[in-house]
Amino acid sequence: MPLRSRADFSQLFFNPSAYSRRWLSDPDRFVNFLLAQQASKNSQIYVFIDEAQSLPNIGLFVKYIYDQRQSIKFILSGSASLDIREKIKEPLTGRKIEFYLSPLTLGEIVKFNGFDVTKISGPFGELDKALNDYLLFGGYPEVVLLNNLEEKRRKLKEITESYILKDLTELFEIHNQESFRLVANYLGENIGAILSKEGVSKLTAISKYEIEKCLIALEKGFVVSFIRPFARNRAKELIHRPKIYFEDNGIRNALLNRLDATTTISDQGQLFENVVFIHLKNRHGGNNIKYWRTNNQTEVDFIVEKEGHILAIEAKNSWPKNSLPRNLMSFKHQYGQEIEEAKVISRENFFTII
């Protein structure tokens, strides 16, 4: 059990191994153990428990210690975040702060690799390579840190099979795993498309009730996100049906068994649009991102509405022109006074915003 102390706080790191479980089986004994490790009488103790969802009654265990008003704080982490939430939801109501750690963004990966994009004034081969890798393998940290391409593929398939297809179906009591896979695959094939549950049902022969269950599991399991339409004029603009995006490109590609660059050539536009979505969500928050579409099919990919201002963005894998496309011009014509900026994000300028 690693232990590191400083004058002002103590840290203890636990992984729920058999050894750690012995310490975590009796809260009073555990408190006495922690206090014995205290750097000084007034110091704060932080206990980090990884894969906390695998410990029985972890919520009640932490609540009991918390309510003793000792100088002990817990940080609970785990890959099955929904499982953790279920176990701590009731016992720790009013006693916890929740954080969702999203996959790495391309900007974070580039920074980690030592590139300062603020000093790059034009196309740069290493950045283009980083973007291509991100389009294919996404931003799961364990995958990003692997250097071997085959190991990256193997890890993504493992995450997909164990977490998405196994853990989520069990947690949401979805008994037909094949139906769940079909719905997930449908969403993967339709990144950036408007979701039609009727269309999914016709194509997969799965009932709307089962589809709804699968969609809830995939959204609450942080696999996909749905963005809603932006509308002021209900007579002329679409006001229903969300658009589909994935939280991570690598997971989408693993679901469709497309983890080789040659298998995603025709998907580049969708994958790039998904990367732009990930960037916008991390910068502006998912609830502030919408899309715009009129009844005559004019559409803008992303409308970011924040503090009374609008940012209109069209994602294009390639757009070497300086002019705006017609759809953005149409949106500007309709909402000119509210728009702070309208622009195309493409491979040519993506490095300027990451």
| Contacts for 219 with CB less than 8 Å, ≥ 6 apart | 225, 226
* Mean pLDDT in residue range 224-238: 87
Which tens digit of pLDDT belongs to each residue from 151-210?
Answer: 999 999 999 998 888 888 988 889 999 999 999 999 999 999 999 999 999 988 999 999
Is 0.95 surpassed by the pTM of this model?
no
Q: Which of 309, 314, 335, 333 is nearest to 324 (CA)?
A: 314
**Residue 127, both tokens:** 């950045």
When pLDDT is cut at 50, 70 and 90, the band that residue 264 belongs to is: very high
Q: Are strands 339-346 and 309-316 parallel, antiparallel or unpaired?
A: parallel
CATH T-level topology, domain 3-88: Hypothetical Protein Ychn; Chain: A, (3.40.1260)
**Domain-wise residue ranges, the chain:** 3-88, 106-352
Average pLDDT for 135-139: 97
3-state secondary structure of 135: helix
Is the model's pLDDT at 61 over the cut of 60? yes
Average pLDDT, the chain: 85
For residue 246, give every residue at least 6 positions away whose Cβ sits within 8 Å of its Cβ, in sequence order, or none.
Answer: 187, 188, 191, 223, 224, 225, 252, 274
Which among 354, 182, 188, 161 has a CA at the least distance from the CA of 274? 188
∠ CA 226-98-30 to the nearest 5 degrees?
Answer: 145
